[in-house]
Copies of this chain bind each other. A is one copy, B any other.
Amino acid sequence: MEEVGSATTTTTAGGAGFEPLEVLEFAVNTKQAAIEWMIAKLQAPADKSGADLCVSAMVMQHNQETVLFIGGSTSRLLLGAEMMDMMKEYKDGNQREFTVEDISNFRGGENPDMFLTMAEKQKIIFRELENIRATDSDEYVPGYEFIKLYQGRTIVKKLLSADLIKNLFPIHDQEFLKKMGADWYKKPVASQPIEKIQHYFGEKIALYFAFLGFYTVALIPPAILGVLYWITSWQNLYREALFAVFNLVWATIFLEAWKRYCAELAFKWGCMDFVSTNSEEPRANYHGRMGKNPVTGKPEPVFPKSQQYMRFYGVTVPVLCLCLTVAFYAMLGYFWLQAKVDKWYLEDKSWLNLFDTFMPTVVYAIVIAILNAIYRKVAVRLNEFENHRLQTSYDNNMILKLIMFEFINCFMSLFYVAFYLQDMRLLKSHLAALLITTQLLGQIQESILPFLFHRRRANRLDKAMSKFDTLQKVEFYNGEVSTDLQKQVSIESTMDVYNGTLDDYLEMFLQFGYVFLFSSVFPLAAVWALLNNFTEIRSDAFKMCRVFQRPFAESASNIGAWQIAFEVVSVMAVMTNCALIGMNPEVQKLLPSDITAVNIVIVFVAIEHLLLAVRVSVAYFIPDVPGWVEIEMAKIAYQSKLALQKEQLARNLQKKRHEDLELNF
């Protein structure tokens, strides 16, 4: 059997025309030496440690900014797809890792130019950009002796962090956007075009929208129940308890059902982990001395695990503890101040003092905003410092850091009111205020502001239009760029950068907490959440399509640490709701009158343990992966096993024949 060489094969040379896929914009005043050096790296063939891409450079007349339009030949892109183990649909309907040699057996492989989608091409080029690493002759960025380069580290990330590259983004596909938008944010009630979203934005963002949609639908039953409780006079003493139990079971089922749906989507998209993550490529920013992957044998940086642990436990944990303590004391300070001011007001009910009663809240809000800004910077630094090998573990650790802080900010105060002050009226109003204001603020931030920005951008468009003729061609020029595209890119370069799904998930996470942690106190929370999410889907979709630069498609097989975060909250919800109901004097009246206070507590602790046991068993007995996906995956694993056996056998037979031949001589 021959070795499957890949680097040498080329399919239909891609000279059909230059398709610009990504834009790289240098900052004003970037030295020409650095720009030319970068362009040379982009264009140089692979054997000269270049990316072998097509580049057309232009200069904006009014500010002398250099803009690079980057593309690649079809054969270059297909090779890139093979190198990154891209999953494509095989003719038998399964998702397989693409290889150039086997292209004719992939669906659509007859026409190599049209084989890859635009998003896929952009993903390939992005990876190639990241793979431009400093060689031993690159000591610093030409023209910038103070920007040191280290052999093997990604150059593009360095230039981005040094602010020499101002913008790096894939170009939007206006036609596809229009089609997708019509099915998505323009329809008030309809399921989202998840496949299209995955096609255009990649799995990570598609999973966010799938989750958002799934969660919104899951909110309908609790919302209906909440409304029923609210409008009917049908009231009895068990109602809070019943509602809470329903919510707990419902939250568990929802989270388990989501896992199954998510597994289905991931399997369909071919991004289910078959092989361990040990064989995945490391992140661009992962560094260490060069070694090789223990599984695949491919060269990659190696960073000792022990040092990673040391960094985490020695640096991250103490710093985080400090930050969380500060946040906690800020909260305590707020309650102390509020109590003091309230007392003053009770003593002297003047207008001035009434105004003062709002002061602590305002001060706290400002303090939180400042702390939050600082904390996020620190968290990103720490996370980068921990040097995670995989994007997923980087993301998960970032999520963990964020959640801990936000949990203290958002929920600790509710816990304080509920269990220390034990003031149910205050809890209800505090909860309602938090839920409704955060949602209103969120809506303004995500719907109204984007709409205004969109307006402003339309105005900018006119200005930009008048500037095109000033775009100047420069010597590095691999192909023509149409004026329409030049126009489009000029607009897109002024758009905001999408910061990833982190904040979007965080919003849902906090909402989930508000709705389920205290559902026995405020059953209407689900209604508010439902109303909010209904518009949230549309405004998030609009934001993705019209407000932000197109993000790079990232793959993901699940929602990562968020799943665990939601599950932890659903477990905590069992505890908080049992405690809240147990504290309710109305409920206590239901128990036999001769019961002691201690026994009341024990009864509710027993109920809580029972519910926790139910929760654990439900989660255990619902399989995380639907039956058909499991069987399909087992099929692939089984076939792989047989293929390995066969290959081994063939290789051994060949070796033997070889030895026999040698013996004969």
Interface residue ranges of A300-322 to B (CB < 8 Å): 305
- Please indicate the chain B residues that have their CB under 8 angstroms from the CB of A97 in the complex: 641, 645
Pick from A48-56, A253-261, A272-280, A428-436 the stretch touching chain B: A272-280
Cα of A644 to Cα of B4 in the assembled complex, Å: 12
Proximity bits, A77-121, B CB within 8 Å = 1, else 0? 000000000000000000011010110110000000000000000
Cα of A275 to Cα of B96 in the assembled complex, Å: 18
- Please indicate the chain B residues that have their CB under 8 angstroms from the CB of A609 in the complex: 575
Pick from A175-183, A331-339, A598-606 the stretch touching chain B: A598-606
Cα of A105 to Cα of B645 in the assembled complex, Å: 12
- Please indicate the chain B residues that have their CB under 8 angstroms from the CB of A296 in the complex: 638
When A275-B638, A640-B643 are in contact, do A648 and B102 touch as well, CB less than 8 Å? yes
A646 close to B1 (CB less than 8 A)? yes
**A346 located at the interface, meaning its Cβ lies under 8 Å from any Cβ of chain B in the complex:** no
A295 close to B605 (CB less than 8 A)? no
A1, A602, A639, most chain B CB atoms within 10 A: A639
Within the complex, the shortest CB–CB distance from A562 to chain B, in Å, comes to 16
- Please indicate the chain B residues that have their CB under 8 angstroms from the CB of A640 in the complex: 637, 640-641, 643-644
- Please indicate the chain B residues that have their CB under 8 angstroms from the CB of A600 in the complex: 598
Within the complex, the shortest CB–CB distance from A411 to chain B, in Å, comes to 16
- Please indicate the chain B residues that have their CB under 8 angstroms from the CB of A645 in the complex: 4, 96-97, 99, 102
**A597 located at the interface, meaning its Cβ lies under 8 Å from any Cβ of chain B in the complex:** yes
A631 close to B278 (CB less than 8 A)? yes
A634 close to B4 (CB less than 8 A)? no
Pick from A185-193, A222-230, A371-379, A649-657 the stretch touching chain B: A649-657
When A295-B631, A640-B643 are in contact, do A4 and B649 touch as well, CB less than 8 Å? yes
Other-chain residue from B105, B627, B637 in contact with A274 (beta carbon distance below 8 A):
B637
When A102-B649, A645-B97 are in contact, do A634 and B598 touch as well, CB less than 8 Å? no
B643 close to A646 (CB less than 8 A)? yes
Interface residue ranges of A262-289 to B (CB < 8 Å): 274-276, 278-279
Other-chain residue from B102, B279, B596, B633 in contact with A634 (beta carbon distance below 8 A):
B279
**A635 located at the interface, meaning its Cβ lies under 8 Å from any Cβ of chain B in the complex:** yes
**A294 located at the interface, meaning its Cβ lies under 8 Å from any Cβ of chain B in the complex:** yes
Cα of A278 to Cα of B634 in the assembled complex, Å: 7
Q: Which residue of the partner chain B has the closest CB to A596?
A: B597
- Please indicate the chain B residues that have their CB under 8 angstroms from the CB of A278 in the complex: 630-631, 634
Other-chain residue from B104, B105, B601, B644 in contact with A602 (beta carbon distance below 8 A):
B601
**A647 located at the interface, meaning its Cβ lies under 8 Å from any Cβ of chain B in the complex:** yes
B605 close to A101 (CB less than 8 A)? no
Other-chain residue from B294, B605, B634 in contact with A275 (beta carbon distance below 8 A):
B634
B647 close to A646 (CB less than 8 A)? yes
When A644-B640, A644-B643, A645-B96 are in contact, do A634 and B276 touch as well, CB less than 8 Å? yes
When A104-B656, A631-B295, A646-B4 are in contact, do A275 and B641 touch as well, CB less than 8 Å? yes
Cα of A1 to Cα of B636 in the assembled complex, Å: 20
- Please indicate the chain B residues that have their CB under 8 angstroms from the CB of A643 in the complex: 640, 643-644, 646-648
Cα of A652 to Cα of B90 in the assembled complex, Å: 12
B638 close to A295 (CB less than 8 A)? yes
Proximity bits, A606-648, B CB within 8 Å = 1, else 0? 0001000000000000000001001101111111110111111
Other-chain residue from B1, B274, B630, B631 in contact with A650 (beta carbon distance below 8 A):
B1
A99 close to B641 (CB less than 8 A)? no
- Please indicate the chain B residues that have their CB under 8 angstroms from the CB of A96 in the complex: 645, 648
- Please indicate the chain B residues that have their CB under 8 angstroms from the CB of A652 in the complex: 102, 104-105
A635 close to B597 (CB less than 8 A)? no
- Please indicate the chain B residues that have their CB under 8 angstroms from the CB of A295 in the complex: 631, 634-635, 638
- Please indicate the chain B residues that have their CB under 8 angstroms from the CB of A4 in the complex: 645-646, 649
A274, A601, A643, most chain B CB atoms within 10 A: A643
A649 close to B101 (CB less than 8 A)? yes
Other-chain residue from B279, B635, B650 in contact with A638 (beta carbon distance below 8 A):
B279
- Please indicate the chain B residues that have their CB under 8 angstroms from the CB of A641 in the complex: 97, 274-275, 640
Within the complex, the shortest CB–CB distance from A571 to chain B, in Å, comes to 9
Interface residue ranges of A199-237 to B (CB < 8 Å): none
- Please indicate the chain B residues that have their CB under 8 angstroms from the CB of A105 in the complex: 648, 652
Interface residue ranges of A1-33 to B (CB < 8 Å): 1, 4
Residues on A lying within 8 angstroms of B by beta carbon are 1, 4, 96-97, 99, 101-102, 104-105, 274-276, 278-279, 294-296, 305, 575, 596-598, 600-602, 605, 609, 627, 630-631, 633-641, 643-650, 652, 656
Closest 9 CB pairs of A and B: A640-B640, A276-B634, A643-B643, A643-B644, A643-B647, A640-B644, A278-B634, A275-B637, A295-B634
Instruction: Provide a sorted-by-A list of 27 A–B residue pairs whose CB atoms are within 8 angstroms.
Output: A1-B1, A4-B645, A97-B641, A97-B645, A99-B649, A102-B648, A102-B649, A276-B630, A276-B633, A276-B634, A278-B630, A278-B634, A279-B634, A294-B631, A294-B635, A295-B638, A596-B597, A598-B598, A598-B600, A598-B601, A601-B601, A637-B637, A639-B644, A643-B643, A643-B646, A644-B644, A646-B647
Q: A1-B650, A105-B648, A639-B644 are in contact. List 7 more A-B contacts (CB 8 A).
A: A96-B648, A104-B652, A279-B634, A279-B637, A294-B631, A601-B605, A605-B605
